[in-house]
Amino acid sequence: MEKFAKFSVLLSVYFKENPEFFDRALESLVLQTVPADEWVIVKDGPIPDGLQAVIEKYKKQGICIKEVPLPENRGLGLALAAGVPECSYELIARMDSDDIAVPERFSLQLAAFEKNPALDLCGGQIEEFETSPEEIVGERRVPLSQEEIERYQKTRSAFNHVTVMFKKSKVLEAGNYKDCPLMEDDMLWVDMLLHGAVCMNLDENLCFVRTNRTMIARRGGRKYYKKYKSARKMILETGFITKREYRKTNRIQLLVCLMPAWLRKFVFFKLLHKKSSCVSRGGAHY
């Protein structure tokens, strides 16, 4: 039998979350073939009773849950930054509060870390749904190898944030999560790569991710573009990308932001996150 390392799961939850979706996400952690040894849940500001009741439900089941309450909403980057040091184990798996992990997710990632002890960051593929994981509307494929990841990260996120498992020590060495709206994850991947992180993505689907066509349609306008440009400037200042790469991605994003909402949805679902004709579900059945 394989010997797996102990590990933590890190989540952030805030007042706007849907309790039903949150419950489904936590249930998928319980159903793992190799369950986590603890859940670290950062409460990004006060949360309503409905969300707290979901946490209490799993505490009563004997799950080791460490709550990290923040006095006010700080945003995802700073919430996760507060959670990383609270994790008890070297390996940390990220999870969002409304997505569904496939049952084999953690076993697959732990096996990757066992196979390569030098590995610092391991992610995987995602499939997207709106109402049910049985009805996939898109997928996001990310590169697999170190070389491909480093090249891809220059223009787009080379990891699906909700799927990653990483080493706590490497995250802290790289400076932890930062306040970088829209790109909290990208900023961390860049910092980790600049600190020599060994990375990979698995070719399997690890999570079913909720998406919303209305939300995608709203990812436009000058306000959204201003946030995007600001985040890319932070990445530029690290030296990871050139000014040419910075200007090129800004031009593309400006074009997307100025598109009509219907066209932006088409680009997102039909071009960028197009569902393949043969989709692997990673052995999961939901």
Residue 76: give its domain's CATH number. Answer: 3.90.550.10
The answer on 225 and 99 residing in a single domain is no
Cβ-proximal residues to 111 (8 Å cutoff; 6+ apart), any chain:
2
C-alpha angle 181-185-187 in degrees, rounded to nearest 5: 75
For helices 184-194 and 76-83, give the axis angle rounded to 10 degrees.
Answer: 50
The answer on 158 and 28 residing in a single domain is yes
Cβ-proximal residues to 8 (8 Å cutoff; 6+ apart), any chain:
36, 37, 38, 39, 40, 87, 88, 89, 91, 92, 93
Distance CA 286, CA 49 (A): 28
Q: Dump pLDDT digits (tens) for 209-243.
A: 998 765 665 567 788 899 999 999 999 999 999 99
- Domain of residue 262 covers 215-272
**Among residues of the chain, what percentage have pLDDT more than 90?**
77
- 187 lies in a domain? yes
- 23 lies in a domain? yes
The answer on 161 and 101 residing in a single domain is yes
Q: Band the pLDDT of 278: cuts 50, 70, 90.
A: very low
Q: Dump pLDDT digits (tens) for 66-87.
A: 999 999 999 999 999 999 999 9
Question: Parallel, antiparallel, or unpaired for β 38-43 and 7-13?
Answer: parallel
pLDDT of residue 255: 85
- 249 lies in a domain? yes
Distance CA 155, CA 135 (A): 30
The answer on 242 and 206 residing in a single domain is no
Distance CA 192, CA 145 (A): 15
- The number of helices, as runs of H, and strands, as runs of E, in the chain is 11, 9
CA 241 to the chain's CA centroid: 22
Whether 249 shows a pLDDT value over 80: the answer reads yes
The answer on 132 and 232 residing in a single domain is no
- 285 lies in a domain? no
Number of domains the chain is built from: 2
